[in-house]
Chains A and B, each alone.
Chain A
Amino acid sequence: MKSTTSRTVSAASLALALGAAVAISAAPVMTAQAAENEKCFGVSLKGKNDCAAGAGTTCAGTAKTDYQGNAWKYVPTGTCTETASPTSPTGYGQLEAYKEKA
């Protein structure tokens, strides 16, 4: 099937784009940028499977979960409280404990 004729993007412009891409990516600026990226993205993950036991006899696992579909006592307290929120009068996230509307 030859659909090229109906394209608004010509074969020539595709070749131009790909040719320019090869030229840009070979330029030293790009390689320097890539090296820069490596430093700031070099977060190494941990292996998550292990054979150790954790917290002993007292921790979350034995507590009944607080969420029963209507009430929840925890309020987000992390960085989300610092995000701008256009809908709130203070400009910051207004967070309160979740309670299902009756």
Chain B
Amino acid sequence: MSDQHDFVAALLDPERDCPAELSSWNGADPSSRFAVYRNNVISSLVNALADSFPVVLQLVGDEFFRAMAQVHVHANPPRTRILAEYGEAFPAFIEGFPPASSLPYLADVARLEFLRIQAYHSADTAPLNAEQITTALSQPDRLDGMTLELHPSAAVLSSNFAIVSLWAAHQGEMAIAQVDPLRAEHALVLRNRLDVEVMGIRHGAALFIQALRTGQCFGEAAEQALAIDPEFDLSHLLAHLISTGALTGYRFAP
């Protein structure tokens, strides 16, 4: 095997001896120096996860988080050179990590946090302005078959757990003791200019946005949402999407 292959194997496996070809001027055990590299690889990646998942960290505490993150780093080291993208597999890892099973909501909180990172760095796309929407409104018979484009940052996460409340409780917006974690919630994540917002939305609103995301037309999306959730307020959701710049385009059916 190559030199660098051995080096990497030893970096990621603390049970392995450090590469035999390393030396030091003073005869110090090279493994005492190789430890600097081992520590930097693992601790820098654990730190990257701690930066990306601050609410998960607060929920379980620093010690538990770092120990859990270290297991993840050893099992799933980055396959990207861009650390903003690292952590995509962390929610699924948490879900399958038995010591975290006492907190069944933890994986979905992690999913929400990763959506926030993705929204933060997503592409800049100009929102529809009022004039463009008025143009669409001038052809009411074509609205049903119209498809709507959403800002790249906009994402919905539907969970069996109170992910929005748990997240908000860690932003100082409500007391954690008031949160019933076992209540299902739907989160809308989107970047409004420079800030990523997280908002709790109704089931119908979540269905509507997901339908638009999969390319279904306006009428179809609205119908699906209202069928499941008759109290879903379509105009209120659209107003929110317009005012936050989340509607970026529309296309009439040919």
Contacts and interface: CB of A to CB of B under 8 A. Distances in A.
Query: Within 8 Å by CB, do A and B touch in the complex?
Result: yes
Interface of A: 1-4, 7-9, 11-12, 14-22, 24-26, 30-31, 34, 37-38, 40-43, 45-49, 53-67, 72, 74-80, 82-86, 93-98, 100
B223 A66 contact: no
Contacts of A64: 14-15
Contact of A60 (B33, B42, B51, B234): B42
A17 B117 CA distance: 32
A49 B83 contact: yes
A80 B103 contact: yes
A20 B235 contact: yes
Given A18-B235, A55-B43, A62 B38 contact: yes
Interface in B16-53: 32-33, 35-36, 38-44, 46-48, 51-52
A23 B144 CA distance: 20
A48 to B, nearest CB: 4
Contacts of A54: 39-40, 43-44, 47
A93 B43 contact: no
Nearest to B219: A7
B141 A57 contact: no
B35 A62 contact: yes
Interface string B203-225: 00000000000000011101100
Given A61-B42, A86-B180, A48 B83 contact: yes
Contacts of A80: 59-60, 103, 106
Nearest to A42: B195
Contact of A15 (B38, B66, B86, B137): B137
User: Chain B, interface size: which category?
Assistant: 35 or more
Interface in B51-91: 51-52, 57-68, 70-71, 74, 81-84, 86
Contacts of B63: 74, 77
Contact of A79 (B41, B67, B176): B176
A48 B48 contact: yes
A76 to B, nearest CB: 4
A86 B33 CA distance: 51
Interface stretch (B1-9, B152-160, B239-247): B239-247
B243 A30 contact: yes
Nearest to A95: B102
